[in-house]
Amino acid sequence: MADGAGDILRSFARALESRDVEKTVGFFSQDAVYETPNGTFKGSAEIRRYFQWMFTTNSEIRVTESGVGILALGDKAAFEHVLHGTFRGQTWEMPILCTYELRDGKVKRMLTVYDRLSLARQVGKGVMARRAVGAVIKAAEKGLH
């Protein structure tokens, strides 16, 4: 699978960019588990619901390979990239690391890690939203600077 993993993950990234729910969900096995900072989604129906939400709330999605790119060993792979999007008119970008367990060319398990606070900082609108995000960041970084 190491030879094909890069192709599978790059095709998956193109499906994300197309915002085509069925095409995107088609990369997952029926019993797949997708763990994200937004929750854990099990099986095709829950994973479909997640991508429907993602594509509804983001009018644009773009994937740029970064860092180590794609590393694969057997049926396991990691993909470092930057995800760019537009949420309610606000553009955002953030580094993301995903790990994959593949089976028969399909994603059996996927783990996505990114900084939700960074996303909130970029898309938060209004005085209250900005103050809330700023207060969380200030508390988290107390004594750091």
CATH number (domain holding residue 37):
3.10.450.50
What length is written for the chain? 145
Residues 21 and 68 in one domain: yes
What tens-digit pLDDT sequence spans the chain (145 residues)? 335 899 999 999 999 999 999 999 999 999 999 999 999 999 999 999 999 999 999 999 999 999 999 999 999 999 999 999 999 888 999 999 999 999 999 999 999 999 988 888 888 888 888 888 888 888 888 888 8
First to last CA, the chain: 45
Q: Give the three-state DSSP class for 25.
A: helix
- In the chain, the number of structural domains is 2
Residues 107 and 120 in one domain: no
Which of 29, 33, 56 lies closest to 46, judged by CA? 33
Contacts of 82 (CB under 8 A, 6+ apart): 63, 64, 66, 93, 94, 95, 96
Provide the residue range defining the domain that includes 126.
115-145
Residues 75 and 98 in one domain: yes
Residues 93 and 130 in one domain: no
Residues 47 and 78 in one domain: yes
- Cα–Cα distance list, 24 to 106, 108, 139 (Å): 11, 14, 38
* Amino acid code (one letter) for 54: M
Give the global pTM: 0.86
pLDDT given for residue 145 in this prediction: 81
User: Cα angle at 74 between 73 and 75, to 5 degrees?
Assistant: 110
Q: Which run of H or E residues covers position 17?
A: helix 2-18
